[in-house]
Amino acid sequence: MRLVIVIVFFGFSLISNSQNSKEFEKLIVEGNIALKNGELKKAEEIYLKVLQKDSKNTDVLYNLALVEFHLENRAVACGLLQKSYKLKDKGAGKLIKEYCGDIFYNDFMFYEDVEVGLKFRTRGREYDLIKEGSIHPILVNQLSQKIYGSEEFVDFDGGKVRVSLLVDKYGAVKSRVTGGFENVLTKTGKEARMEVINKVFQEEIDFIPCQYQGKPVGMWSPVVFVFNLRESGYPFN
């Protein structure tokens, strides 16, 4: 169960939601109570003790950062948040941007934290993956042309498809079709069409990774979008 305690004076939220071993649970609860009660040095001591044996516990790193903010040790607090973010803590990223400045560069980041989003390249030109809130029509056209060339889509009349997309800093793609093809009655037919779409995304589309601080960066969180697959689409321009 997710525990959220609001520290009103500083405007932070105290969070503890990891699956911790029982030997740490009591200590973490004691640390949380100490912080809530304003016993900052006690909370600091407890959290440091936990981190000696579980240095990657993002909840404790986050909560200890709150303690350090309360003690006016901003540099220490920001360092703890940077470490927690590197361990895939989205909440730490929000506090870093609000109280510490820029998030440090990481090989992987959350999509909302990158400076330049995903792009794709076709016919020597680069385009944003998302245009005006939707997948770029040129990419829809490219996908449709490639997908309708397969035998699995010979009798497909078009429809909406939902895709989850991850691209690492080298441009390698992981895609997953998470919806669509409601008009396909057999499980086999649906899975065959999903496989075709995944293959096109992973092998035939030239994606350009996200950018942060002028360097390519991978994605922890996927981009999820819905597009209308159709036999003919927007012309290239």
- 95, 161: one domain: no
How much is the pLDDT for 16?
54
d(CA 232, CA 193): 18
Domain extent, residue 95, equals: 3-104
Tell whether 185 and 167 lie within a shared domain. Answer: yes
Is the per-residue pLDDT at 45 higher than 90?
Answer: yes
Is residue 90 scored above 70 in pLDDT? yes
Taking alpha carbons only, the member of 146, 138, 135, 132 closest to residue 201 is 146
Average pLDDT, the chain: 84
Mean pLDDT on 32-45? 93
Q: Residue 12: its pLDDT value, please? A: 53
CB 177, CB 161: distance < 8 Å:
yes
Query: Between 22 and 36, whose confidence is greater?
Result: 36
Higher per-residue pLDDT: 190 or 157:
190
Helix (H) or strand (E) holding 128, with range, is strand 125-128
Instruction: With respect to residue 236, please indicate whether it lies within any of the assigned structural domains.
Output: no
The answer to whether residues 118 and 225 belong to one domain is yes
Q: Where residue 232 falls among pLDDT bands split at 50, 70, 90?
A: very low
Q: Whole-angstrom Cα distance, residue 42 to residue 172?
A: 47
- Confidence band of 143 (pLDDT split at 50, 70, 90): confident
Give, for 50, the enclosing helix (H) or strand (E).
helix 40-53
